[in-house]
Structure 1
């Protein structure tokens, strides 16, 4: 009815001014941004623009996840735009207006000074995306009713992470529980992983891997360490990752306080007068311990004469450039912190080191064996103590004997001893210690050697020897005679006579013959000789010394016969 009244009034009265028309517009709600053709008004009208002629947005709405610093294009494909306006908004902020009129494209940028924005046709382009660019982007056409398209932009902000409460160092007493945490930042929210790198001195002490994943299951950005122990010391790294090209890390150092633990590098250091020596101990402690060296328990080491050092492995050393006689003795490495103290003892001595054996375990004689050894001693060796016995005998029944020591221009001394009257085919155990003016060496591992079986006990074709085949006992020729023979004759120049039942081999350099299995010869001569020898008992087995003596006598007889002939 109101509309009808207006029409009637317009025909009867003078024309309305523009201001009057606007007043009517206020009444109709136009000033409030409402269309005069709104359905809220009670009227009937014909559509000015048919539906098929209205602009249409054909692009779908999208959600974008962009790394900070990248570029993005928001599509908005429109058909039948005609002379309608196209507007881009970021939330409530107007970004761009596009108008095409009479075939001419008119653009108006509303965000002055932001060169990152531009139009690509009807699409909006944004370069160098920043975190504050995230939100809703709307493409709107000023049709009645308006057509809109909403895109969502999420900006992936590279992660950052910081220690909780800015505590990059966390200290706790041994046996307590502690929580270490880090605070991650970024979009989307980063995930956290933990790793541990132990301190270098702890790696050397505990022999553990330098980097490893934690065995305790981490809980997000917080890590709980229960019953903290020294091996929990180290640098805990929390790594934040949200898929951005880069990750972020924060390092939190955990210091578990515990009293010192001292272990020596060597319990005994062997040296000599005028030689150098180094005593060393490893100290584990948190906080770092104060280390002092004492001599004979409570006498501080002279700091003016000796050099004390400490390396990254917390190895503390005491160096002697030139040991004197008064330096030998017991030294103590003592470590102290406010959690407690501990110490370890090192002996500086001049006594010999344990003996080392060089003989073959298998001897090449039936009743004798020569043992060869050496020993490191900075002072002359006074005596060697030898204990030996058959392996079937208890150790308290072993034979003990002493042989003269040796002196050498170097610290290495070599010696040997020949055992006589041994049982053929038996195994013996032996121990040798060396003694000098500073004491006796420790007993090295027991050395075992075996003698050869007698030739008469080895029968051809594996048969056992008969009852009348008993070997003759070894000769008891004096050692003096053997020594004289050794000086007169060179063993390597004489070929000893071998028994018919044995075959000896030499290495071409005067090596002792090696007994082998007897060989049966089936020619006539060998048979005759075998028949002749069958009437007597088996030929006696001569020792090398007896053979050399026999050969010397034989050569002497030949020389005398030539002289008198």
Structure 2
């Protein structure tokens, strides 16, 4: 507020105070026979309060006599109380005094709009006043309408996650991975990223997972939102052992490591034409999840016979493509 605006406000406030004083039958002060002029005994302390709580501001005056006290919300140009009367129509405001020395303004269930400067005024001539501030703080809240939701993008594309939060003071946004793994940004790996945007220029399967957008402003509680990032890519198969030896009559397990998203349909082929799609007394196929996009594929072959030796194909297919790995099984 500029000095000119404050001067105009003080003039208006003084006029309002004198006018209301007259309406209530109060003699304007400043006459020659007026008693000792009042003085403020101590400053009004500034108060920080969380939204929804109750708050008090105390104005302490010596020698008030027949002078009158008023409370004014300076920022809203609103006369709140005059002496022991509440002028504002807001039922959450009240006034109390202790022997005409301490005049306490009460606000219950304070709202954010009640943030600002409050003036305690005495109708002397010239008017005397002092001010205190109520700082209404608001815990953070995620703005769901402007914050990213779960998404899926193709590998090597650019992705931007957005998080917007409101609160007072303005919240700080921090991004973390839910699994506490570092976030890969270009060639760097960082534990967290600060700011409303998390930008990954070239997303890979290693970026896949749940991200937490955490909003905090020093007012409890902090809040967070979980955003699941999926990265779409065609299947990739790696083989720990391309050649496996086993004796006739024994059991053997063949292993493949599969990476894919979305999830692939996986199957085994013996030779080029025998599909192993179900488990039975001879074969047992298993899929064991090893992470967000990793799966271990295994094929157990029981009671090996000479006809079981040969080439086995570990295959997988999803909507983006297919992959195949080869294992040769021989007799020892």
Aligned to 1:156: 137
Q: Match of 2:222? A: 247
Q: CA deviation at 1:343?
A: 1.5
Q: CA deviation at 1:93?
A: 4.5
Q: CA deviation at 1:115?
A: 6.1
Q: Corresponding residue for 1:86?
A: 69
Q: Residue 174 of structure 1: CA displacement?
A: 1.9
Contact 1:170/1:180 (CA < 8 Å) preserved in 2?
A: no
Q: Is 1:221 matched with 2:196?
A: yes
Hey, what does 1:235 align to over in structure 2? 210
Partners in 1 of 2:39 and 2:230 — Cα distance?
A: 67
Relative contact order (alpha carbons < 8 A, sep ≥ 6): 1 or 2 greater?
A: 2
CA distance in 2, matches of 1:35, 1:115: 25
Picking from 108, 119, 122, the partner of 2:96 is 119
Q: 2:313: which partner in 1?
A: 332
- The structure having more radius of gyration, on CA atoms, is 1
CA distance in 1, matches of 2:195, 2:56: 36
Cα shift at 1:164: 6.6
Name the counterpart of 2:49: 66
TM-score (norm 2): 0.73
Structure (1 or 2) with the greater helix fraction: 1
Going from structure 1 to structure 2, the CA distance change for 1:172 and 1:145 (only over 3 Å counts) comes to same
Distance in 1 between residues matched to 2:246 and 2:144, nearest whole Å = 53
Which residue of 2 is the match for residue 7 of structure 1? none
Provide the C-alpha distance between the structure 2 equivalents of 1:240 and 1:138, rounded to a whole number of angstroms. Answer: 34
Q: Which of these residues, 173, 182, 200, is aligned with residue 163 of structure 2?
A: 182
1:312 corresponds in structure 2 to 289
Instruction: Mark the CA change 1:323 to 1:75 in structure 2 (over 3 Å): closer, same or farther.
Output: farther
Match of 1:211 in 2: 181
Closer/same/farther in 2, CA of residues 113 and 260 from structure 1, 3 Å limit: same
Any unmatched runs of 5+ in structure 1?
Answer: 1-31, 37-45, 99-106, 199-209, 352-565
**Contact 1:262-1:282 at 8 Å conserved across structures:** yes
Gaps of 5+ in 2: 1-14, 20-28
Distance 1:234 1:322 in 2: 41
Q: Specify whether residues 213 and 174 from structure 1 end up closer, same or farther in structure 2 by C-alpha distance, changes over 3 A only.
A: closer
Supply the RMSD in Å over aligned alpha carbons.
Answer: 3.4
Equivalence for 2:31: 48
**Alignment partners' CA distance in 2, 1:49 and 1:309:** 102
- The corresponding residue for 2:154 is 173
Distance in 1, matches of 2:256 and 2:65, equals 91
Check whether the contact 2:183–2:207 (CA below 8 A) recurs between aligned residues.
Answer: no
The 3 A distance-change label for structure 1 pair 319 and 48 is: same
**In 2 relative to 1, CA 176–111 (structure 1 residues): closer, same or farther, beyond 3 Å?**
same
Closer, same or farther: CA 163–173 of 1 in aligned 2, 3 Å: farther
- Judged with a 3 Å threshold, the aligned counterparts in structure 2 of structure 1 residues 51 and 267 are, in CA distance, closer, same or farther, namely farther
Contact 2:171 2:216 survives alignment (8 Å): yes
Q: Summarize the Cα distance change of 1:260–1:54 in structure 2 as closer, same or farther, 3 Å threshold.
A: same
Residues in 2 aligned to 1:218 and 1:72: alpha-carbon distance in whole angstroms: 37
1:131 to 102, 112, 120: 112
Q: Structure 1's 34 and 278: CA in aligned 2 closer, same or farther, altered over 3 A?
A: closer
1 CA distance for matches of 2:158 and 2:267? 32
Distance 1:311 1:128, change over 3 A: farther
Structure 2 residue matching 1:149: 3-state secondary structure: strand
TM-score by length of 1: 0.46
Asked if structure 2 preserves the Cα contact closer than 8 Å seen for 1:87 and 1:140, the reply is yes
Q: Matched residue pairs, number?
A: 292
Partners in 2 of 1:52 and 1:118 — Cα distance? 25
**Hey, what's the Cα distance between the residues in 1 that align with 2:266 and 2:33?**
97
Structure 1, residues 294-332: CA drift from partner, whole Å, max 9, x if none? 111343115252433323312222233544443332211
Shift of 1:235: 1.9
- Structure 1 pair 52/315, CA: closer, same or farther in 2 (3 Å)? farther
**In the alignment, what sits opposite 1:76?**
59
Contact 1:163 1:251 in 2 (8 A): no
Deviation at 1:62, TM superposition (A): 5.0
CA distance in 2, matches of 1:275, 1:300: 22
**Shift in CA distance, 154/230, structure 1 to aligned 2, threshold 3 Å:** same
Secondary structure, counterpart of 1:231 in structure 2: helix
Partner Cα separation in structure 2 for residue 289 and residue 50 of structure 1:
97
The Cα offsets for residues 108-158 of structure 1, whole Å up to 9 and x where unpaired, read as 445678568553631224455443432332322333443333322222211
